[in-house]
Chain A
Amino acid sequence: MTTLKTSAPIPEPAPDGFALWWQRSASTRNAYAYLIPALTVMTLITFYPLFYQLWMSFTDYNIRSLNPNAATYLAPEWVGFQNYTDILTGKISDVLPNFNFWKLLAFNLFWTFSQVIVHVSMGILIAVALNVKGLWFKGIYRAIYILPMVIPSMVVSVVWRNMFDPQYGAINQALAGIGSWFGYEEADFVIRWIEQVQPPFAEWFPLPLSFFAISLANIWLGWPFMTIVATGALQSVPNDLYEAASIDGATATQQFSRITLPLIRPAMVPAAMYGIIATFNQFNVIYFISAGGPLRQTEIMVTTAFRLVNEQRLYGLAAAFCVVIFIILLGLTLLTNTVTRATENYDA
């Protein structure tokens, strides 16, 4: 494509040196003028704090380092990689009981992928069901299914927190209602969703009951977004493909796996990647519903970081912890990107 260029008429005599540079750089200077407000603000309150965080992570910055005018002031001291080794070896379990970095990371990753897999599969299946030709009340269902996405997750989380209350919560009351049809007593359904330390099903079961509570709430929150993305993608799948396939004798399952899935994939992959990062950092659901309990079994990285700042006031240690979070997220993003690209090449 050719672009027409409008060059200013060359003034006489031709400028040289500084004047020439000044004239030629007019466009660049104009671009910088637009960038400078954002650059200044981000330098001061985004980039500077992040570099400060890196420095803090190598110090023992704590509550006594906050106010230089206080009598108890202690200047933060350089401790090298101490904070990092304390985190990775689980030494900070003195301040955070039951803390184990590798268990935390493993749970956080399991939480992320189990959730996103459920969100994406539910999202696609429900979108496909809503896309069936001749279905009644399509518009009503679509309008209702959007609701979990538009209600702020902070409010949703505190509401679910109360819904899981053993005595007064709606979940146990609903279960008791259903149970009463089968002759169970109401007392059979005083389930301590959040607090119960005893693992469900069997003694060896690795996940606490509260994992199922937060999962339930987060699935409620998460699938509608995937359904909306999938619905959008389904609109662009040409109908002829299905007609041709059914003439060739393809079953519904074959049509789903050979036509629908490959064609909505380009839309679902970015949505899933967005979901992975959002779920990995799902502060609201964990902090407000299970509070990481019982015994820190459902804690994730960001809620732990918040506790180090908010409850323990160990700012240096928290900074190191956040640097670790950043490195893990960087790895996670690169990994999902690579996996996505690799499978794309395979398809082609």
Chain B
Amino acid sequence: MLESTKDMPIGKQIALQAILLLITFTVMFPIMWIVSLSLDPRGISRPTELNLIPPGASLEAYLAVMDKPTNNPVTFVELVFNSLKLATGVAFFSVAVGVLAAYVLSRRQFPGRELFMLGVITVLMVPSIATIAPLFVTLNSLRIEVVSVVSGTGDEKSEEVRQLNIMGFEIGEVGELNDGEKASTESHNVRNSLWGVGLALVSGALPFAIWNLKGYLDTIPKDLEEAATIDGASHNQIFLRIILPLATPALAVTFFLGFLAGWTEFAMSWQFLTEPEDFTLSMALWNMTGQYAGSVPWSRFAAMSLLVAAPVSIVYLMLQKYIVGGLTVGGVK
């Protein structure tokens, strides 16, 4: 888009273009490097020279990563599903519960409102890493025992779950055991599962969602609600028919920010999870970096980086104009 240059002397134009091109180069350098490395047909193990444009292109590194991402016994599809489950679960739960609270904090007066808001603001100041110790310890003590009854042997073997035992609460009964039946107890540690990581993430994502959504709801004019009240609408009708539809963009943005937090989450998963089948994409990516890289060719590391980053980056790009305003308004006021 060439504009008329009558406002700017050509010398100034050239000087500005040179500066902006230099900045463009610094911005694009890491991105080009990693894209080039991932597409290089030579499948580079350790790059020894800089090639911003690879000679030819091949998707070999991507296929190799999808085939066997790390030395851990976990497939690429499992990694994707684990990250997807974590991100979607955290985002959906915190938005669904958060919008209810955000609505009453923004629109209604009730005893305890200020106290709850103070609680939310205080919690927002605690970085998520600074809550890792108590979350680890408390979720670690949350164990679920599954009692199942096994009967028969070999091909005839059948297993039936009879009882769940959560922190002393027993759900279901084991009952009398017939001949040839055996009760076996399996103990699951909530901490060592995606559920545990999800709960730990909601601990920070929910207050953030409440505050972000409240900040947005505060900007919606109250005229419509007042008109609806005169027409006899109840609180619930106002929430469902007026507030929720108007808040859709904010709901989408908050959902995305929660999703992003879950998708790239590292510290909690790294601390909580020990079973490779529960591992997430970001854990696998760190396993391919630096001291952990071992024998991972850098082409594969590059392909993995792009596979992790691309989906969320593209959505962020589409939503960015809604996100920037919300972060500073909701985050500080």
Please give the residue numbers on chain A whose beta carbons come within 8 Å of chain B beta carbons, in ascending order.
3-4, 6, 27-28, 30-32, 34-35, 37-39, 41-42, 45-50, 52-53, 56, 61, 66-68, 126, 129-130, 132-139, 141, 144-156, 158-163, 167-168, 170, 173-174, 177, 220, 224-225, 228-229, 232, 267, 270-271, 273-274, 277, 281, 283-284, 288, 302, 305-306, 308-310, 315, 318-319, 322, 325-326, 329-330, 333
| A146 near B308: Cβ-Cβ < 8 Å | no
- Of all chain A residues, which has the CB nearest B119? A47
Cβ contact within 8 Å between A170 and B331: no
Q: Top 6 A-B pairs ranked by shortest CB distance?
A: A38-B101, A150-B316, A134-B7, A322-B130, A49-B134, A53-B134
- Is the contact region of chain A dominated by helix, strand, or loop, or is it mixed? helix
Inter-chain contact A35/B305, CB cutoff 8 Å = no
Cβ-based interface call for B13 (8 A): yes
Contact partner of B327 (CB less than 8 A), chosen from A3, A139, A163, A274, is A274
In this complex, which of B110, B132, B203 has the most chain A Cβ atoms within 10 angstroms of its Cβ?
B132
State which residues 166-208 of B face A: CB under 8 Å.
Answer: 199-200, 202-204, 206-207
When chains A and B are docked, how far (Å) is the Cα of A133 from the Cα of B6? Answer: 9
Q: Is the CB of A168 within 8 A of B203?
A: no
> Please, which residues of chain A bring their CB within 8 A of the CB of B298?
162, 168
Partner of B24, one of A42, A144, A173, A330: A144
A31-B110, A46-B206, A315-B136 given; A270·B230 CB < 8 A: no
Cα of A341 to Cα of B105 in the assembled complex, Å: 25
Q: Are B332 and A270 in contact (CB under 8 A)?
A: yes
In the complex with contacts A56-B137, A136-B3, A155-B308, A170-B264 CB distance below 8 A: no
Chain B nearest CB: distance from A4 CB in Å? 6
B229-241 to A contact mask, C-beta < 8 Å, 1/0: 1101001100100
CA distance A201 to B94 in the complex (A): 50
A162, B308: Cα distance in complex, Å: 16
Q: Is B274 an interface residue (CB 8 A)?
A: no
Let me know if A6 and B133 touch, CB within 8 A. no
Q: Are A158 and B137 neighbours in the complex by a CB distance under 8 Å?
A: no
- Residues of chain A within 8 A of B199, CB atoms compared: 45
Q: Bound complex: CA of A48 vs CA of B134, how far in Å? A: 9
26 contacts between A and B (CB under 8 A): A28-B110, A34-B104, A34-B239, A35-B105, A38-B97, A39-B101, A41-B206, A46-B123, A53-B131, A132-B8, A138-B3, A144-B27, A155-B285, A155-B309, A158-B290, A160-B30, A168-B46, A273-B332, A288-B289, A302-B127, A310-B267, A319-B133, A322-B131, A322-B133, A326-B126, A326-B130
Q: Does B270 contact A (CB under 8 A)?
A: yes
Summed over the interface, the residue pairs from A and B with CB atoms below 8 Å come to a total of 276
Closest to A152 in B: B264
Q: Hey, which chain A residues are within 8 Å of B305, CB to CB?
A: 155, 158-159
In-complex Cβ contact of B132 among A273, A306, A329 (8 A): A306
B47 part of interface (Cβ distance < 8 Å): yes
Within B108-146, the residues touching A (CB, 8 Å) are 108-111, 116, 119-120, 123, 125-127, 129-138, 140-141
A84, chain B: closest CB distance, angstroms: 15
B57 on the A face (CB < 8 A): no
